[in-house]
Structure 1
Amino acid sequence: MSLQLNAGHIYGLLGKNGAGKSSLLKNLAGLVYAQSGKVNVLGFDPKKRQPALLEQICFIPEEFYLPAVKIDAYLKANAPFYKKFNHNYFTELLKEFDIPVSQKLIDMSYGQKKKIIIAFGLATQAKLIIMDEPTNGLDIPSKAQFRKIMASALTDDCCIIISTHQVRDLDNLIDTVIMLDENDIALKASVEEITEKLTFKKVKEIDASIIYAEQSLSGYNAVLPNYHQEESKLDIELLFNAILTEKTKFKPLFD
């Protein structure tokens, strides 16, 4: 696997269970070590877990533990690990998420705790922010809050990776899609490139021009080559299913 990620982008990392998403993220964060090959993050080897790198990486896992303390005590213990931690921004994010600052972590629901670690991760202002299933455990209003926050969170010197199987949660959020299949990269392309090369539309009948289609109540949701430069909205879930089902048909379009 060969992959280069750049600052100023929000990457959506997609793949079936067992495709290698978590392994890739943990390698980038230095939580597991590759048996072969090299991993370089901001000029460092992450497996060495040097403080100069760790203060620039924030990994937000799917499963996490928060101690039975108040939010300010949690900050006092953890914020010093990040030199650029922005306390004012953290407070703003809590307000966006409707989280009372004085509330104890032990009294919070799973979804509220998830909002806390998302807010903390963004407030670190780390150069690499990795989110593994960040919307898991969030209700529909909270997912809307998350999308609103993420839309303004990216900076030119920050790279954000969001891994999820809830692909529709990434709509209008990411600018680049990375799709893994069997521990390899099935697709890496910007949303702009994808919609330049492919059209996503509803059709009544299937014909030879259609690369992939799924039946719907009103006909078919289809993916076609964009020969006529039509504008269409990226359907991430449809693209995900299409790439995994018809890999050989899509590969020439993105090589």
Structure 2
Amino acid sequence: MAANCVRAGHEVTVWNRSSDPVELFLKAYDAKAAEDPGRLTCRCEAVITMLANDDASRAVYFGPTGLIQSPGAKLLVEMGTMSPGLVQELSSAATAAGKAFVDAPVSGATQAAEDARLLIMAGCEQDAHPVLADVFGSMGRKTIWLGSTGAGAVMKLAVNMLIHGLNQTVSEALTLAGRAGISESDAFDVIENSAVAAPMLGYRRAHYLNEADQDVSFTLDLAKKDVTLALALADELGVNMPQTQTTLDVLKMAQNDGYGQRDMASVFAFMKGQAR
């Protein structure tokens, strides 16, 4: 995502919680680096973060050299998958510090990020921050402007809830077909060309059929985090989601069985191991 901003002609300064990715990025792209979040915001008009979870986001935004209290950038944008509650907390804190905060999570895997083909779900009006349309256009194929703070976070949870549910049911379908004597490759061909086909099946085919030999695209631990957040929001809003609860139960079992740091497609391997 940062590389695509550089390619689009934006002046980019980067910081990362671990230093190795920064060093590699600077060797590959015309960009600068900051020593910490505070120095980053001092050098930028807008700061965009892509963080793994609420704890990481709290540390970067509220830490001693965090983005909220540091001078400089007046626009802060979080593009990771966060709880709606944290998004509201960040927005309130940013407003109190004289800054604006936008939640703008994305849908799309690693390849979509590399190809600038992400879907961006922005929790603001399209004309609220003019710089965003250009920046988002550098990273994604489409931005849907949802009008209000937190709406992006809610939609991201809803989308990921569907993705992880599909991940589970595809794994079950492949396990069933395999037990009946159909090759996994043939079964996947049928699913991928059927009425239930979704874009993720195409770009994740290798992860389902040969997960152990693929780079991890999205860990099972992160899948569990997403589904847990979605169910927490559902409980808060009084929405019953029994199918998503089942997805979470399976993710927990797989995590307890040592699959946490494997790709989320490893649920298929877990389901095959569960078959009697």
TM-score, normalised via structure 2 length = 0.29
Higher RCO structure, 1 or 2 (CA under 8 Å, sep 6+): 1
Tell me which protein shows more helix as a share of its residues. 2
